[in-house]
Amino acid sequence: MSQHFGFVGVGRMGGPMAGRLLDAGHRLTIFDVSEAAMAPLLARGAVRAGSPREVASAVETVFVSLPTPDIIHAVALGPDGLASGNRIKTYIDLSTTGPRMAAEVAAALGQREITTIDSPVSGGVGGAKAGTLAVMAACPAKEFTRFEPVLKTFGRVFHVGERAGLGQTMKLANNMLSAAAMAISSEAIVMGVKAGLDARTMVDVINAGSGRNTATQDKFPKAILPRSFNYGFAAGLMFKDVKLCVEEAAALKVPMAVGAAVHKLWQQANTENGPASDITEIIRLIEKPAGVEVKGGS
């Protein structure tokens, strides 16, 4: 059944997800600070709003996909934010904002009788386009039953808990593992290349053995071996996610020695390569002092 949804933040991840809602026959009212980001969706019939508040005054359910906790706070609770809209009843956050921000926003919206579905996603831009994301929804069971069908538009949906923030915790755990895999795979393969091994052969062997992971299966073949460094996820966002994870572990008094080392390397990538650099460019930090370059080989 066709529905009318709002969508705030239609950039690299939000744009493909909003597009899938249009593909499914739903109507959209959208807002983004970038006119260029909105243009493809407007061309397909989405309606432009001038602010988050306008979106929340046009529809009852609003999706958001935004890059940082501060932006989430401003969009949800700021002076021209969603909370000041006069129609919104359900807020679905697809971003990675951290458990404490998710809980804070949910509590504030709850005072206005707006239900929060804390629902970060994983799978990258490719997964957003293909509808194969992992969707980690935390909300009351009744709300999950109601919104699971539309969340399936984005991929495979998991109900991870009833409390806002649990979706974020699940996402941070996932992204810490992904970040660690990218970092340690880069170190291991640079070591092998420096010793005289062929990089492509190394990746093939690792993927046939117990060391395979998301970096060796996807990121190395697609973006590192061909030296394109265009996997599609920014180092600054990965550093943000890792930082949120180690902060949450500290707040929960959970030791994270390996996570701390991963955090340090991604901080270096964010500083030296720049926050806009692709996550696969982290390998340059290891290649440079080693004096080798990881290429596709034969």
Q: Which residues are catalytic?
A: 171
Q: Which two tokens stand for residue 120?
A: 């970060």
CA distance 115 to 22: 23
Report the candidate in 122, 154, 119, 155 with the shortest Cα–Cα distance to residue 139: 119
User: Do 72 and 106 touch, CB atoms closer than 8 A?
Assistant: no
Measured over the CA atoms of residue 206, residue 225, residue 274 and residue 77, the dihedral's sign is negative
287 alpha-carbon distance from chain centroid = 27
Enumerate the β-bridge partners of residue 58: none
**Inter-axis angle of helices 166-195 and 283-290, nearest 10:** 20
